[in-house]
Amino acid sequence: MAVVSSLVPARFLTLTAHLVIVITIFWSRENNVLACLPVNYTQEQFNAADTQVIVALSVTLGMFVIELAGFFSGVSMFNNMQSLLSIGAHASASVALLFYLFEAWMCAVYWWIFALCSALPAFTEIIVFIAVLGLKRKPL
């Protein structure tokens, strides 16, 4: 029981840390947009890159809604495998996004971080949600 009681707060804290970093990037995205552009860029290129970053961050926030819904509903709160996957993914995302923010990495790097650290746990959350509610099975 000690493992379960320590996984739940760790999962919540890593989810919250990742969410705070994504919101911070959303507010201060100009430096990251400029990192995606060549030295001489037009306003159209800036607008296109800004739109790409806004879309990426918005989709990430949508993945947070899926994960937090499963977590707070209790469907996956005590699922050890989902908790470990979520903790690992969101802790990795927090570190990677801090580098993305401070080092002004290219925009393409964000999509890799998104795929591995946001989309993967949200996809498994949907699978757990379907297994528990749709198939009326006990979570693993």
Q: Spell out the residues 6+ positions from residue 109 whose beta carbon is closer than 8 angstroms to its own.
A: 100
Euclidean distance between CA atoms 23 and 58, whole angstroms: 10
What pLDDT, in 10s, does the model give residues 33-85? 998 898 899 999 999 999 999 999 999 999 999 999 999 998 888 888 999 99
What pLDDT, in 10s, does the model give residues 108-137? 899 999 999 999 999 999 998 888 887 776
Euclidean distance between CA atoms 99 and 113, whole angstroms: 11
DSSP for 97-140, please give it.
Answer: HHHHHHHT--HHHHHHHHIIIIIHHHHHHHHHHIIIIIS-----
Read off the pTM.
0.88
